[in-house]
Amino acid sequence: MQKSLHIDPNKCTGCLQCEMACSWENYKSFTIAKSRIKVFSFHHEGRFVPYTCTQCDEAWCMVACPVDAIRLDPVTGAKIVLDPTCVGCKVCTIACPFGTINYVAQTGKVQKCDLCEGAPACAKACPTAAITYVDSDWTGLEKMRQWAGKTDTNPATV
Amino acid sequence: MAWTKNVLRVNLETGSCTTEPLNMDWAHDYLGQRGLATKYLVSETDPKVEPFSPENKMIFVTGPLTGTMAATGGRYSVVTKGPLTGAIACSNSGGYFGAELKFAGWDMVIFEGASPKPVYLLITDEKAELVDASHLWGKTVWETEETIKKFHQDPQIRVAAIGRAGENKVLYAAIVNDLHRAAGRSGVGAVMGSKNLKAVAVRGTRTDAYQLANPDAFFAATEAGKKVLAANGVTGQGLPTYGTQVLMNVINELGALPTRNHREVQFEGALAIGGEAMHEKRPTDGKANLVTNGACFGCTIACGRISRMDPGHFSVKDKPQYHGASGGVEYEAAWALGAANGVSDLEALTYANFLCNEDGFDPISFGATVGAAMELYDLGLLTKEEIGFELPFGSTEGMVKLAELTARGEGFGKVIGLGSKRMCAKYGRPELSMTVKGQEFPAYDSRGLQGMGLAYATSNRGACHLRGYMVSPEVLGIPVKMEPQATEGKPAMLKAFQDLTAVVDSSGLCLFTTFAWGLADIQPQIQAACEGDWSEERLLLVGERIWNLEREYNLGAGLTGKDDNLPPRLMKEPAQTGPQKGAVSKLDIMLPEYYQLRGWTPEGVPTTETRARLGV
């Protein structure tokens, strides 16, 4: 079964544990500036929204890469940047419609979410289950369940 | 390790920014944050210094767990001599700013002197520079943050700034970071204003800023700690759902909610301004005051209130800039802006709280000072002519107007900005000021909670609930239940709380973790992050050392044991209603025992043996 990162912004509190976990996974440092998942605060709406790569099937970044440095991980479905091959041309950062692949000046390469080889650190670190790693065919299951609960019109249970 | 071991020293007079290594001997004796900055301040300044003189220094400081995955590991403190109290001021804040400072590679920033013109400090990793802030002077905290981010074209910069209150030297001006988190008490913002320092803006991207001593042990300890927080009723449910506002009705029913400048101990409007009320849909627009709860950096509790006002409320009807969500009232603010002056309009409290965040002043001291002004008005000592409008107890319009005037430094707001002690003295009734060492009480009555009275009297920064939170044993039963009116065992419990709190405040963690965590939960996290031996015994010794060093500073500043007192009202006027009816503070019974347990003389001075034992 393939899994996907699933984000429920309603549950996010903006604590940034996910960003620290991502940075630790890749840099052995909690520096959130290096995180591949970002939590955005829409302060005046009172909303926090985590956002990262959704691993497009026909990934624009992968198609655009002139040196074939972005490859599909057949197990997780993640599109992975091969550091030794990447030349830091940044064409992928232009091609990606979502902004989720970015250049890192420190390394001279691009980086994006690689699903941590199937055990995403961000989902593990999230204290409110705003980020989960679930069956990619059923990311809507929980939402369906909530709505399903509201359709019960049996007066005895209301 | 866990320290960056770098100190940034900024001389505001000459404009120089220099780097020096952290004094690791001191780090091992004082841990970090509150303790470590106090050691630097004591070593580098004369405690008799005038708080607003350039000779006073101001230190922004992180702890070893700041900027780590330890739950709540995002705190920083500002340490300086406080203008409200003349005692040491140490104000602690959350948000994201502290962690960013750490990621930029700094344990602390020491500000010396005063700048000849308004400036802000811009830190980008190793690089630090002072930038002209003439265009920001006169602007609010919110405008300042937005302007700085736009100018540097970097939305990821974190900003701690003063508003107009700090510029105008409101004696309880705050430093506000991330729009609504504040180093709130004792007037640290006014010291910043006296130095012509408008803001500190930080961007930290370093991956090599600091290391963990033992990463495997660190993750084991911090993950265990997070589980404890999640499973605990207060940190896992009460605080996320109701914030600190979970306390409003509890404390009111207990008869310990100071009301109308401590004339009463129960507020008839408590239900309307408490945590539950924030969840209720307003009849006016069908929406609740509370939008969501929000976390500070790394916090798995997330007690923060994010509120949205009723756009039709009289205070904001024609002010769309306040119609969006922002930091809502916490318990202390709701009490001070509400019960302390008899106002029960939650929307008005929210608006006043927005103003406190927007222009940087402490809602506790502000609200309590308004309460005192209302009593002076009630007694005919303050007139409508002098204030500019009527100010009876319960005047929502009066409280709101005073918040606006204090924010802008206009009219009677200038008097309110002096704080309750100076205002009451000015009108000939100093005993009506509900303060200790010049700082206003927070939201617990000393007659109802005997241990809190002792905590207020002995707090090194004046009346404060965050130096030894006796509400835990006296109300919540943490770690053991103590009867509110009992005095037995309270001095010893308070000493233990004060020492433990000093450790937590020096670590980078939030004090609220201690609703669920004991030292046994905290110690392994510090031990795994930091090099050296950090046994529980040693940590408690560090806490005691910090407490005594603060005490020595205050004694050097001219304070004495006589300042460990409470206003006569709390000693002589019994509580009129509720479960604590008839009670007065029994401070005189507890204080001698407290001094003895501290190893201090009957005059409240650490003995030679105590000094030697702690190395202070």
pLDDT value for B515: 97
DSSP A7: E
- Our CA angle for B478, B481, B487, nearest 5°, is 115
- The whole-angstrom distance between residue B242's C-alpha and the CA centroid of its chain comes to 20
Query: Which residue on chain B is closest to A46 by alpha carbon?
Result: B325
CA distance A156 to chain B (A): 27
Cα B166-B177-B464 angle, rounded to 5 deg? 70
In chain B, whose CA is at the least distance from the CA of A9?
B292
Q: Residue with structure tokens 């409508």?
A: B384
Residue B313, pLDDT > 90, answer yes
User: Exposed, middle or buried, A134 (CB in 10 Å: 0-12/13-18/19+)?
Assistant: middle
Per-residue pLDDT band at B557 (split at 50, 70, 90): very high
CA distance A80 to A101: 10
Under 8 Å between Cβ of B192 and B162: yes
Whether residue B223 is predicted with pLDDT greater than 80 in this model: the reply is yes
In 3D space, the residue among B266, B424, B415 whose CA is nearest the CA of residue B344 turns out to be: B266
Residue B536 CA: distances (Å) to CA of B120, B417, B541: 40, 42, 9
Longest CA–CA span in chain A (Å) reads 65
> Residue A3: enclosing H or E segment and its boundaries?
strand A3-7
Determine whether the interchain pair B156/A33 forms a contact, defined as Cβ–Cβ distance below 8 Å.
yes
Instruction: Tell which residue, B142, B98, B144, B140, has the closest CA to residue B123.
Output: B98
* Residue among A30, A34, A42 with most chain B CBs within 10 A, to mutate: A30
Total number of residues shown for chain B: 616
Give yes or no for A103 touching B (CB within 8 A): no
Query: Rounded distance, CA B59 to CA A153, Å?
Result: 62
Alpha-carbon distance B80 to B62, whole Å? 15
Convert the pLDDT of each residue in B60-107 to its tens digit.
Answer: 999 999 999 999 999 999 999 999 999 999 999 999 999 999 999 999
Q: The tokens 């408590």 sit on which residue?
A: B270
The pair phi, psi for residue B236, each rounded to 5°, is -90, -25
Average pLDDT rounded to a whole number, residues B193-214 = 98
Beta strands at B108-112 and B6-11: parallel, antiparallel or unpaired: parallel
What is d(CA B118, CA B273) in angstroms, rounded to the nearest whole number? 39
Nearest beta carbon to residue A14 from set B203, B294, B325: B294
Burial code (b: 16+ CB inside 10 Å, e: under 16) for B376-404 equals bbeeebbeeeebeeebebebbebbbbbbb
Q: What is the pLDDT of residue B386?
A: 97
- Report the pLDDT averaged over residues B367-384: 98
Rounded Cα–Cα distance for residues B514 and B590 (Å): 24
CA B552 to CA B611: how far, in whole Å?
10
DSSP element (H, E) containing B404: helix B396-408
| Token pair recorded at residue A100 | 């989720």
DSSP B257-285: --BTTTTBS--TTHHHHSHHHHHSBPTTT
Residue A104 has pLDDT above 80, yes or no: yes
> A-chain residues within 8 Å CB-CB of B209?
29, 31
Amino acid symbol at B369 = T
CB contact under 8 A, B294 and A128: no
DSSP string, A42-57: EGGGTEEEEE-----T
Query: Would you state the pLDDT for residue B425?
Result: 98
- Distance separating alpha carbons of residues B125 and A3, to the nearest angstrom: 37
**Could you say which of A15, A29, A128 has the minimum Cβ distance to residue B298?**
A15
Nearest CB partner across the interface for B302, out of A15, A20, A24: A15
Chain B, nearest residue to A26 by Cα:
B207
C-beta atoms of A34 and B69 within 8 A: no
Decide: B63 and B33 in contact? Cβ < 8 Å. yes
The answer to whether residue B352 scores a pLDDT higher than 70 is: yes
Which element (helix H / strand E) includes B403?
helix B396-408
Residue B354 has pLDDT above 70, yes or no: yes
Least Cα distance to B32 among B4, B57, B58 occurs for: B4
Question: What are B365's two structure tokens?
Answer: 């001291």
Of B528, B446, B534, B536, give the one whose Cα is nearest residue B494: B446
Report the C-alpha gap between B153 and B448 in whole angstroms.
53
How far apart CA B381 and CA B111 sit, in angstroms, is: 41
Instruction: Say how far apart CA B552 and CA B373 lie, in whole Å.
Output: 34
* Partners of residue B78 on adjacent β-strands: B60, B91
Quote the mean pLDDT of chain B: 98
Q: pLDDT > 90: what percent of chain A?
A: 92
Nearest to B288 by CA among B332, B357, B242, B355: B242
B103, A14: Cβ pair inside 8 Å?
no
Residue B554 pLDDT greater than 60, yes or no: yes
> B-contacting residues of A 75-94, CB under 8 Å?
none
How far apart, in whole angstroms, are the C-alpha atoms of residue B524 and residue B220? Answer: 9
**Residue A19, min C-alpha distance to chain B (Å):** 10
Distances (CA, A) of B274 to B23, B157, B241, B248: 45, 34, 12, 5
At A151 the pLDDT is 87
Distance from CA of A130 to the nearest CA of B (A): 12
> Residue B550, SS3?
helix
User: Where are the extended beta strands (E) located within B224-374?
Assistant: 290-294, 304-307, 326-327
What contacts B523, CB < 8 A, 6 or more positions away? B534, B535, B536, B539
Smallest Cβ–Cβ distance between B300 and the set A17, A44, A46 belongs to: A17
Collect all residues with Cβ–Cβ distance below 8 Å to B187 and sequence separation of at least 6: B51, B82, B83, B84, B85, B89, B170, B171, B172, B173, B362
Q: Which residue has the tokens 């065919």?
A: A137
CA distance B325 to B392: 30
Percent of chain B at pLDDT > 70 equals 100
User: Do the bridges between strand B439-440 and strand B435-436 make them parallel or antiparallel, or are there none, so unpaired?
Assistant: antiparallel
Tokens of B584: 């007065």
- Do residues B89 and B187 lie in contact, with contact meaning Cβ atoms separated by under 8 Å? yes
The pTM of the whole model exceeds 0.80:
yes
User: What pLDDT, on the 0 to 100 scale, is given for residue B1?
Assistant: 77
Residue B200 phi/psi, 5° resolution?
A: -120, 120
Mean pLDDT score, B198-202: 98
Looking at the predicted structure, is the pLDDT value of residue A155 above 70?
no
Chosen for mutation from B65, B66, B69, B307 (greatest number of chain A CBs closer than 10 Å) is: B69
- Environment class of B588 (CB within 10 Å of its CB; exposed 0-12, middle 13-18, buried 19+): exposed
Give the pair of three-digit tokens for residue B243: 């914030």
Residue A100 has pLDDT above 90, yes or no: yes
Distance CA B398, CA B342 (A): 11
Predicted pLDDT of residue B103: 98
Nearest CA among B456, B68, B473, B110 for reference residue B258: B456
Q: Which helix (H) or strand (E) holds B30?
A: helix B24-30
Which residues on chain A are in Cβ contact (under 8 Å) with B208? 29
- In contact, B131 and B95? CB cutoff 8 Å: no
Decide if A20 touches B, using CB distance below 8 A.
yes
What's the order of all strands across the beta sheet hosting B6-11? B16-21, B6-11, B108-112, B58-62, B76-81, B88-93
ipTM over cut 0.90: yes
Q: Please report which confidence band the pLDDT of residue A157 belongs to, taking 50, 70 and 90 as the band edges.
A: low
Task: Tell me whether residues B103 and A30 touch, CB distance under 8 A.
Answer: yes
- Say whether A120 sits in a helix, a strand or coil: coil
Residues of A in contact with B65 (CB under 8 A): none
Contact assignment for B296 to A15 by CB distance below 8 Å = yes
Report the phi/psi class of residue B360: left, alpha or beta, with left for phi > 0 and alpha for psi in -120 to 50: left
